[in-house]
Structure 1
Amino acid sequence: MHDFLTSSYGVRSPNLPELTPYAVTAPVAEKLPRQQVTPQGNDVTTPLSPRAHAARLEVLRRKYMAHIIAAAACHGRPVRVAPYTLTQPGAERHAGIELIEKYAAGMGWQVTRSTFAAMGQPSPLAQRAGLGAACRYAAQGYAHGILAIARPALTTDNEAYAQVLEHLHVRGLFLAYLPTERDAPA
């Protein structure tokens, strides 16, 4: 058995006991002093509140976005975004796309000719053909990211949202939203 107790020459020290995959056996553990651990405010075992988790995900989203935008700028390329809305077809969808186009123009970004949407109440992410198509379209190199009106257009569930961010990030893509009143300077 080769483990950290075996020397580089494969010789085992005669003073060391044979270890099983469970390095600390019951008799050894009984000899260890018992420690009382009191969770502290920043203890990693304390679960984050949904609000704190959402805030951390927002920081991560912005970090990913800034990195990808900077990389595009270094290569002298304009940032291109694929618009995504969660609206019914018709006037509401056109209004949403217009808001996205206006915001993108103000940021100096180009909007792809293809637009993507899902209808009605948000269904599970895996069932949203419009979002999946937007992700595939951007991953094929047509866009640097996806621009939606707001986060709820994707999901309000933090775990699902984290998966979306990671899915896009490993493909070199970002996710952006139109600014809200909270984002406006006071």
Structure 2
Amino acid sequence: MNTLLTTPSPSAPARRGTLHTVGRTLLPTLTGSGWPAGRAARLRDVREADVDRTLKQLAAVGTPVRVGRYTLIEPGQDPAERLAQTQAVVTRRRWEAAVVTWDSTGMTDPALRPQLARLFTAICHGEIHGIVAASRTDISAFDEVYESTLAAIRARGGFLTLARSETTF
């Protein structure tokens, strides 16, 4: 298991279809050296609204923010550098990192990544409130998949925050 720190309760096994996936082949939406500005800004606004909503709810009841730190790496790659970026966010925001994990599947469908599914389950069980990733590519380089994953996290009452903006790699 790709875990550095675990929560006390066991997580449910990953199941196909845990996340909403797009049922067609997607072409990358990258152009030039970055993401299309308008779409990236809209996705950033959606993601940040989810963060703000959850943080306001937690502050209203005096609950500290617990998150799962997550990154996606290629097989054989060391996750330490990307996880350090997520730790910087957690430290700066004074959140608690309850889970630190990664998937080494490379750019696969988020619904098929066992550790990302584990974080979704942790959100559902109230063990964490959100996920901190280094960049949006830890979720998906494809706009439609990224957007549907944000919706799936939101539907579970959680949020995604990034160390780097949607417009950077």
TM-score by structure 2 length?
Answer: 0.70
- What secondary structure sits across from 1:152 in the alignment? helix
Structure 1 residues without counterparts, runs of 5 or longer: 1-48
Between Structure 1 and Structure 2, the one with more helix by share is 1
- What secondary structure sits across from 1:115 in the alignment? strand
Alignment of 1:103-122 (within 5 A): 103-112=89-98, 114-122=99-107
Q: How far does residue 95 in structure 1 lie from its aligned partner after superposition? A: 3.3
Q: Residues 119-167 of structure 1, C-alpha deviation per residue, up to 9 Å, x if partnerless?
A: 1521112221121111111221111100001001110111111111111
Rg: which structure is higher?
1
Alignment partner of 1:137 is 2:154? no
Alignment of 1:1-186 (within 5 A): 51=36, 52-87=38-73, 92-112=78-98, 114-179=99-164
Q: Residues 44-82 of structure 1, C-alpha deviation per residue, up to 9 Å, x if partnerless?
A: xxxxx9722232111111011111011111111111110
Between Structure 1 and Structure 2, the one with more strand by share is 2
**Which residue is 1:13 aligned to?**
none
Do 2:123 and 2:157's aligned partners in 1 also have CA atoms closer than 8 Å?
A: no
Do 1:86 and 1:117's aligned partners in 2 also have CA atoms closer than 8 Å?
A: yes
- What secondary structure sits across from 1:123 in the alignment? coil
- What secondary structure sits across from 2:125 in the alignment? helix
Distance (Å, rounded) in 2 between the aligned partners of 1:110 and 1:90: 28
Q: How far does residue 91 in structure 1 lie from its aligned partner after superposition? A: 8.1
Do 2:74 and 2:106's aligned partners in 1 also have CA atoms closer than 8 Å?
A: no
- What secondary structure sits across from 1:92 in the alignment? coil
TM-score by structure 1 length?
Answer: 0.64
Using the aligned pairs only, state the percent identity: 25
Q: Residues 77-107 of structure 1, C-alpha deviation per residue, up to 9 Å, x if partnerless?
A: 1111101111258883233333322320111
Do 1:82 and 1:115's aligned partners in 2 also have CA atoms closer than 8 Å?
A: yes
- What secondary structure sits across from 2:46 in the alignment? helix
Count how many residue pairs are aligned between Structure 1 and Structure 2: 133
* Structure 1 segments of 4+ aligned residues over 3 angstroms from their partners: 88-91
Distance (Å, rounded) in 2 between the aligned partners of 1:166 and 1:179: 20
